[in-house]
A = this chain, B = another copy of it.
Amino acid sequence: MTAGVPPGGEFAAIDRLMRRLPGPPAGEVWIGDDAAVVGPAGAQTLLTTDMSIAGVHADLRLMGLDDLGWRAVAAAVSDIAAMGGRATHVLVAVAGPPSTDLDALYEGVAQSVEAHGCRVVGGDLSNAPQVVVVVAVTGVVGEGPGPVLRGGARAGDHLFVTGPLGGSAAGLRILRGLAAPGRPPAAASAENPLVRAHRRPRARLAEGTAARRSGATAMIDVSDGLAADLGRLAAASGVGFSLGDVPVAGGATIEEALGGGEDYELVFAAPDDDAVRRGFDAAGLAVPIVLGECTADRDQRQWAGTVLAPSGWEHRFR
């Protein structure tokens, strides 16, 4: 339910659609968060969909159809992770030209649903000039607090990220045969961790659940880049932010960490950093990295003494 690259850069049509349609009843969340939340409290269902289009979201000269299938599932499941939920059922709609190697694509889908602990229960198959994979995922929220939305962060909350950033963007750079400024080109081996981060990203389901149970007030997945996605969390919450060090994946640049999307790490806000440390520890997960804090000035977008402009970074790697 992250909105890739819309036609004409137009998000306005979605806003108009939202105004045109009836809104959710109390306790439900529809358009505007990582996933929709429907159903009564205690038995809520999470719903999300995500499109992966060859030539737009993925370059099939740089990855296989199996990688495209894997990524399509991971990207959609990540929206469930960002609510603190568990993915349950998956629908996979596939279109492509007659020459498409469906076995390769479905093999990547099968591996990804297995890795993410969910099940393919249906789908659709059609002809199209280019390969399109659209994954819809249902999820549930386990014991503990309800789903974590984007809009609950308060001034003073700490900001965390579940891991270093920029790996996927660095992997893409390597696959394109480019070196980072001032560094020798890296080999585009399939085993290179950055190449793997680009081709086979993992949704952070366990981390999302741990964050929810550790008092997270707001959460989002890094699909379009830290600057863009943290900007969305801050805007939805009506807070600003001030960041210190941003953790950079080994071999990636700081620009890739700030602007590169598709890492699928989770960024979240929580008031009690001890509770977060204990919660992740108890779940056997690496303790998340402190990025900075939420501030009362909703226009503040501070990183290392400069302004972190979402739109500037957002399109740099897309």
Question: Are B30 and A103 in touch, CB under 8 angstroms?
Answer: no
Option from B5, B49, B55, B106 in Cβ contact (under 8 Å) with A93: B49
Which residues of chain B are within 8 angstroms of A45 by Cβ–Cβ distance? 45, 138
Q: Is A248 on the interface with B (CB-CB < 8 A)?
A: no
Against B, the Cβ 8 Å flags (1 = close, 0 = not) of A95-125 are 1111110110011011001000001111111
Q: Which chain B residue has the least Cβ–Cβ distance from A128?
A: B53
Flag if A89 contacts B47 (CB, 8 Å): yes
Do A102 and B13 have beta carbons less than 8 Å apart?
A: yes
Interface bits A1-36 vs B (CB < 8 Å: 1, else 0):
111111111110110110011101000101100011
Cα A98 to Cα B8 in complex, Å, equals: 4
> How many protomers of this protein does the assembly include?
2
A184 within 8 A of B: no
Bound CA span A96–B4, Å: 12
Stretch binding the partner chain, chosen from A129-137, A202-210, A271-279, A281-289? A129-137
B125/A7 in contact, CB under 8 A: yes
In the bound complex, residues from chain B placing their C-beta under 8 Å from that of A30 are: 119-122
State whether B7 touches A102 (Cβ < 8 A). Answer: yes
Distance A93 CA – B57 CA, assembled complex (angstroms): 14
- Taking CB atoms, residues of chain B closer than 8 Å to A4 are 124-127
Query: What is the interface of chain A mostly: helix, strand, loop, or mixed?
Result: mixed
Complex alpha-carbon distance, A129 and B96, angstroms: 13
Contacts of A8 in B (CB 8 A): 98-100
**A-B contact sample (19 more), CB < 8 A, given A4-B125, A31-B121:** A2-B124, A4-B124, A6-B126, A10-B98, A14-B125, A16-B103, A17-B109, A30-B119, A31-B120, A36-B89, A47-B91, A47-B121, A48-B91, A49-B124, A49-B136, A55-B129, A57-B126, A91-B136, A138-B138
The 5 residue pairs across chains A and B that have the minimum distance between CB atoms = A13-B102, A136-B136, A36-B121, A4-B126, A8-B98
List residues of chain A with CB under 8 Å of any chain B CB.
1-11, 13-14, 16-17, 20-22, 24, 28, 30-31, 35-36, 38, 45, 47-51, 53, 55-57, 88-89, 91-93, 95-100, 102-103, 106-107, 109-110, 113, 119-130, 132, 134, 136, 138
